A and B are shown apart, each in its own frame.
Chain A
């Protein structure tokens, strides 16, 4: 049940990221000039008749964010009282801290008129919070708790998958910087750059945009490397081959969306979905990485259930096996 709830929270966070990206894509970030109130009203009593034009995006983002915050409180409390793994209980608290900090950053960026540094930090923390919800969903999944009869223990996979995840996150940060410094069309053509392979003139905006394009190439290569490694060395492990296939599809979609964002002069929906798919690429890579690290986590005793369970517990009811010793 907790697993289902954490999956639901992760899904709501995807919706929240879409809402946030629509705010930026519509240039609606300051359409509600005050915070935490909305035009002087309490956020939850702001009349729907006033949710017009860009206010719909900004106020909608605030309401969805509040809902996600509320769900995170429930999840953190649920973990705290029902989860036997101590580290995971604190991880739930950390997720709650992250979503609170995220809300404060969102408020500050409004009050200070969207400075690029705060807006980029808001975008970066959004991805971290999303990754935390995905990780909690993974950590509470029956398959993760049960473990595998023959766990994957591949140092190379851990290295390449972790590197891929870090590079994707860095690429997202560059993308966020590009969005919040207005550099999204600094290079207006695609696949060329001012008609050349390399831009023939430079500015800070062009450099940021160029870095994002080079980053896309790098991410594509490391994703392909990770997936190829999975196929060649762990072709029989569905828990790895499925995300490896998914991430290739997502990266293909992401590169296409990135190109279309430029070619359509930043079409609002294409631009916004580009942000969402970026988050999904990151989350998928994170899942591969965590599954690669699963055996190490178990060996180091971070998961207290692992060492105490004499035999592999039933996947149908793994929680019961953990609870017998979880708080020991």
Chain B
């Protein structure tokens, strides 16, 4: 009897460790609770919804991106003939506008409910880079991870609030899916094979987020009237917040300006 109990405990511990090692919800369907509209709050009225548009810029000399040596993998070298650099600071032609900044509504949404996310988020390993480098997705939304390269990659997510996972994709064209169960800004990805490959995803329980483009522009639409705290996140420059009030059908322009690090080398 006692022996059976021990076997049972051991079995449960083993099962728990397998779950812990398994990287959470990879290749599984999103949980119903995550995919369903949040809570019992009111729906956003599209007739009165407004938007926030804006730009992200950097004030000062922009640091030079670190050079990348890809020569440890001949495939990566073949795919990238020109000198390669990290994507840390993606600055527009004006030398100020800043891409790859994740902008989202951090606070003020109250008790709204949202339709489940439609479609899937996607990250592709192509030319020994992650595409996109910064992106956003919803809790419970399916993230499809693709390896388009004729070399092998591992994708290693290092969240703090979600389950960490590390999966190999040795064959070109391989796909896997993953869902995040909790909101988290930001979840870093890295490829441990090719140390220069990194990406970031912002996981939110609402649809109000955007990533600045090469001109530093972003657009968050269908936002119900209200006062919100917006946050802009950059992988090196940190975060900046500001408050914005949206009236019915109103569109507000917002500008985020990050200060360049001191003693930066111009790009």
Contact = CB atoms under 8 A, between A and B. Distances in A.
B168 A33 contact: yes
Interface in A19-33: 26-33
Given A112-B20, A112-B21, A54 B168 contact: no
B69 to A, nearest CB: 10
The dominant DSSP class at the A interface is loop
B13 to A, nearest CB: 14
Interface stretch (B104-112, B189-197, B236-244, B259-267): B189-197
Given A39-B168, A54-B193, A30 B20 contact: no
Nearest to B169: A39
B267 to A, nearest CB: 22
Contacts of A28: 192
Contacts of B156: 30, 33, 113
Contacts of B75: 52
Contacts of A55: 152, 193
A299 interface: no
Contacts of B164: 113
B72 interface: yes
Contacts of A111: 21
A30 B157 CA distance: 11
A52 B192 contact: no
Interface in A21-65: 26-34, 39-40, 50, 52-56
B168 A34 contact: yes
Contacts of B194: 53-54
The number of chain A residues touching the other chain, given as a range, is 20 to 34
A-B pairs with the 5 shortest C-beta distances? A53-B72, A31-B192, A39-B170, A33-B166, A30-B192
Interface in B144-165: 151-152, 154, 156, 158, 164
A156 to B, nearest CB: 50
Contacts of B73: 52-53
A112 B170 CA distance: 21
B168 A32 contact: yes
Contact of A40 (B74, B158, B168, B193): B168
Interface residues of B, number: 21
A31 B20 contact: no
Contacts of B76: 53
Among A32, A40, A112, which residue has the most Cβ atoms of chain B within 10 A?
Answer: A32
A54 B192 contact: yes
A53 B193 contact: yes
A50 B170 contact: yes
A1 B137 CA distance: 64
Among B158, B192, B194, which residue has the most Cβ atoms of chain A within 10 A?
Answer: B192
B152 A52 contact: yes
7 contacts: A30-B154, A33-B192, A39-B168, A40-B168, A50-B170, A54-B194, A56-B72
A27 B192 contact: yes
Interface in A266-323: none
A30 B166 contact: yes
Given A33-B154, A52-B72, A53-B194, A113 B166 contact: yes
Given A30-B156, A39-B170, A113-B164, A54 B151 contact: no
Interface in A205-237: none
Contacts of A29: 192
